[in-house]
Structure 1
Amino acid sequence: MCTFWKHVLRGTFSFLALSFVVLPGCREHSPDTAPVTDVVTLTYWPAPNPQEVAFADTIVRQWNRLHPRIQVRMQSIPVSVSTEEVLLAAIAGGTTPDICSNIWPGALHEYTRAGGLLRLDRFADFDSVARSRTPDPLLQTFRSPDGGFHQMPWKTNPVMMFYNRTLFEESGVELAPRTYSEYFAAAQKLTRDRNGDGIIDVWAGERDIRPIWWQRLFDVFPFTIAASGGRTLFEQGEPAFATPATEGVFAFFQRCYAEGYYPHTYFAGGDPFILEKKATQFSGPYLVATLQSLAPRLRFGVVPLPVPDDHTGPVHTYGDYKNIAIFTTTRYPAEAWEFVKFMVDARQDLLLLTVANQLPVRGDLLTNRMFAPYFEKNPMIRSFAEQVPYTRGVDAAPDLKELFDALSQEYESCAVYGRKTPSQAVLDAQERIRAIVDWNR
């Protein structure tokens, strides 16, 4: 049993005690307490951020008005350390909602191992619904190792490179870098003393130097996907991390720190990109609204991630997906499936764009005339929409948090502190990943 799972189980009883106080609606799944009525009530948990709560509230109101006999009650996921811990604890205690739209694919193995999720391809029209929205090659990446689909692909946040146009112009950098060499050439000019006090106060970039597992989803992992033409950490279920592409990624970040383009520090006083302390940032489309709200005068652009100098073809990246699932505790699977289909309808996807500025996982984002007015008004988001076909998710592997913990520690040792060569760090990371996978089989 993995460390993460043990940690979750230890916290289960305290969570369940709280859930009966703040989540009384979850108990409606018990046959002994369900009221005798011809109205079906479903519980739906969206992500707790304000934009998605607003979206969820809108579609639930629409659904309830159109379906008086199948009512949906929306309640955002209870605040905790992470959504994954909340859902795993709820699965263990049998207090899950009927539907949740904040399913990170990296935790799916834990959910299915605990018997928490329905197979959605049990429904006769799953294939037609899923394929009408998501290109089949991308859809297949969401298939579980058991051959089934326990998640409906819903939204994606492709990781791209933001750059500060003002800092670029002040430094004499005319174009956003496309390759590693171009990035280093720009970094030499961008990293400087801007206020003239003799101390460097603007850097080409910056990453959180702490070995926190999920931070690697915004540097090493998307850069590896980009450098390798779309490969991830595994191939055919086996670790395949030690590649020339990954070694090149470690070398890229090692040079960024060794030559002072990135600071060896952690900014605790605010976002350094908003504060114009760094010229580039790797993030998803949600940052656009944040910048427009908190830094309306900041001039920025968005481009694909830098790639090796000899790279050819499109640039891939990490998609940072969040998907929809139905839990096995539901008493109304057919009704829950109808609501899921309603959620992924093109009209609701348009609401996802306009209300939450979130990109639906659709193959026709840029060709469907329904979405055209939105992208005309939001050209920056269009850049992310163009990246959607070239996104990849995390692998369907157990104990993914532990795997990224190991990767983070090797990255820190090599890139941040220069204690290992890129080739040694990559080999060590693969061996640690293999040991974790073998231990938990």
Structure 2
Amino acid sequence: MLLLYHYIFKRIHTKVRYKVLLSFFLIAIQLQFVSCSGNERERGEKYLTYWPAANQQEIDLAKKIVEKWNVIHPEFPVRMEPIPSGQSSEEVLLAAIAGKTTPDICSNIWPGVMEQYVEAGAVVNLDTMPGFDSLLTARIPETVVKGYSSSDGKYYQLPWKSNPVLFIYNRRYFDVLGIDSLPKSYSEFYEIAQRIKEMPIDDGLPLQWIHYRNILPIWWQRLFDFYPFYIAASGGKTLLKDGKVDFDNDTAVKVFEFFAEGYEKGYVSKSLLQMEDLFIKEKVLADIVGPWRVSHLAKFAPDLKYTYGPLPRPGGSEGPGLSYADPKSIVIFNNTPYPKMAWEFVKFLVSEENDRMLLDMTAQLPIRSGLLEKATFKEYFEANPGLKVFAEQVPYAIGVDRTIYLQEIFDIISQEFDAACVHRVKTPKEGISDAAKRVRLLLERDR
């Protein structure tokens, strides 16, 4: 455990090490209560442990899948426990790796942390599993498959689901604001924002801003503002190229300028914690969302009329709009005494039948070739055209870089975003330049 803590901490800035250490120990205590499999396995009991995401929809999905498996395999049941709570699932899993309390299987893996897990020797090389190559080739679209291999060329994760990020717009306000078509460029987007700002206060409408984002300077918040906008504006670039900084450019500056203008002119709600859903309350015209939003709106705002559109780009370029995939993968942890049986459960988890159940119960999209054409799914998208928009976006959804430093890189960008876009203590150009300098130093630290 101490060796892994050293491995993790030498990659964390000194100012936050004590905070992370405290978080790790608190999570470790919690994990001791969650994981009690060691003693039972010592008594000869055979079973697998499985952690899905902790949201209720995925817990319900996991329960159904596990129930089906346990009927078919009573000799080797699966025990499901939602991933324990923490600031992020990545933090919880790192603590579990350090404390050797990981489950056999987890389906809530952000690909951005995979290099840390691989370097720590925490996950099983799936290339060694029977039938992995054929499953990967048959299941995963060729356009995205390479993005899930590790830097050593091997696969330690099986891509499971993708949640492309788009804008959602409230159609109620289209006539009021004179919107004939969705904005394609930054200038068109903020022309609409200016119209919102000029609306009379006593017009009886709740609309106040064009959109909102949580400005809390935590790394993962930037996955839903700066990063998808940078992908869209750059034509699909990520932050690094050949292990070196690749975002120190005019495109990234324009993205920072876009958000800085929105906050400075009051076009965008500036909030740390949002106590109400501003889109459902109709106080904003638009929101940055993934496909999970479809079922949420159906439940909590069934009468709301809305449409989806791509993220605007600096010059409003034509062609397919690119965005962030917000993907999740499945891994088998190396501490499992039953890797081959765990692999059998993983294959069962991503069966066509269970992928359809993923759609039905969570409105999240399986990463699967022919998603819109196969009969198993075609009927679903005909009945749920809102989800079809997101499914069409999957081939154009970009993942993240393969580096052990990705969370720290996003932490740096988040801090500079806060300084340059939210509080304006430096210019957007200075913010991007400073972020790039800090990331270069980070990448050079262990060289």
- Shorter-chain TM-score bucket reads over 0.9
Q: Equivalent of 1:285, from 276, 283, 291?
A: 291
Name the structure 2 match of 1:21: 33
Q: Deviations over 1:221-251 (max 9, x none)?
A: 0000011111110111111111222122112
Query: What pairs up with 1:163-182 in 2 under 5 angstroms?
Result: 163-182=169-188
1:75 aligned residue:
81
Cα deviation for residue 192 of structure 1 reads: 4.3
- One-letter amino acid of the structure 2 residue matched with residue 157 of structure 1: N
| Structure 2 SS opposite 1:207 | strand
CA–CA distance in 2 between the matches of 1:12 and 1:425?
31
Counting only pairs closer than 5 Å after superposition, residues 401-412 of structure 1 correspond to structure 2 as 401-412=407-418
Q: Distance in 2 between matches of 1:108 and 1:348?
A: 24
Aligned ranges 1:240-389 → 2 under 5 Å: 240-266=246-272, 268-309=274-315, 311-389=317-395
Q: Which amino acid in the other structure matches residue 68 of structure 2?
A: Q
Given the alignment of the two structures, is residue 60 of structure 1 paired with residue 66 of structure 2, yes or no?
yes
Q: Which residue of 1 aligns with 2:44?
A: 36
**Number of the residue aligned with 2:4:** none
SS in 1 for 2:211: coil
Aligned partners of 1:198, 1:256: CA distance in 2, in Å?
Answer: 24
Output the amino acid matched with 2:44.
V
1:426 matched residue in structure 2: 432
How far, CA to CA, are the matches of 1:374 and 1:198 in structure 2? 38
CA deviations 1:394-435 (Å, max 9, x no partner) are: 211123222112111222222223333332222211111111
Q: Which amino acid aligns with 1:35?
A: R
| Other-structure match for 1:2 | 11
Q: Aligned pair in 2 of structure 1 residues 414, 383: CA closer, same or farther (>3 Å)?
A: same
2: CA distance between counterparts of 1:194 and 1:65? 62
What is the one-letter code of the residue matched to 1:152?
Answer: L
Q: Cα offset for 1:328?
A: 0.3
Contact 2:143 2:395 in 1 (8 A): no
Residues of 1 paired with 2:88 and 2:256: CA distance? 28
CA contact (8 A) 1:192 1:200 kept: no
**How many residue pairs get matched?**
435
The aligned amino acid for 2:30 is L
Deviation at 1:167, TM superposition (A): 2.2
The unaligned stretches of length 5 or more in structure 1 are: none
RMSD: 2.2
Contact 2:211 2:267 in 1 (8 A): yes
Which secondary structure does the structure 1 equivalent of 2:107 belong to? strand
State whether residues 9 and 92 of structure 1, in contact with CA within 8 Å, keep that contact through their aligned partners in structure 2.
no
Quick check: 1:209 aligned with 2:215? yes
Between 1:408-417 and 1:372-381, the stretch displaced more is 408-417
1:15 to 1:254, Cα distance in 2 relative to 1, 3 A: closer
Letter in 1 for 2:252: T
Give distance in 2, aligned partners of 1:294 and 1:271.
Answer: 10
Letter in 2 for 1:36: G
- Give the secondary structure class of the aligned counterpart of 1:370: helix
What is the identity, as a one-letter code, of the residue corresponding to 1:362? R
1:369–1:439 distance in 2 versus 1, CA, 3 Å = same
Q: Give the letter aligned to residue 346 of structure 2.
A: V
Cα separation, 1, equivalents of 2:371 and 2:342:
26
| Structure 1 position 88, deviation (Å) | 1.1
CA distance in 2, matches of 1:373, 1:198: 41
Q: In the alignment, which residue of structure 2 is the partner of 1:109?
A: 115
Assess, with a 3 A threshold, how the Cα gap between structure 1 residues 422 and 22 changes in structure 2: closer, same or farther: closer
C-alpha distance 102-9 of structure 1, shift in aligned 2 (>3 A): same
Q: Given that residues 119 and 148 in structure 1 are in contact (C-alpha distance below 8 angstroms), is that contact kept between their aligned partners in structure 2?
A: yes
Aligned mates of 2:32, 2:410 — CA distance in 1: 34
The partner residue of 2:399 within 383, 387, 393 is 393
Identity %, equivalent residues = 43
- CA shift at 1:135, angstroms? 1.5
Distance 2:77 2:18 in 1: 36
Q: Which amino acid aligns with 2:364?
A: Q
Comparing 84-93 and 204-213, the one that deviates more: 204-213
C-alpha spacing 1:265/1:329, structure 2 compared with 1 (3 Å): closer
**What one-letter code is carried by the residue in structure 1 that aligns with 2:143?**
P
Q: CA deviation at 1:200?
A: 9.5
Gapped runs of 5+ residues in structure 2? 1-9
Could you tell me how far 1:21 is from its partner in structure 2? 2.9
Partners of 1:149 and 1:2 in 2: how far apart?
24
Q: Residue type matched to 2:387 in 1?
A: I
Cα distance, 1:70 vs structure 2: 2.4
The structure 2 residue matched to 1:161, chosen from 162, 167, 177, is 167
Aligned partners of 1:328 and 1:221: how far apart in 2? 32
Question: CA–CA distance in 2 between the matches of 1:169 and 1:201?
Answer: 13
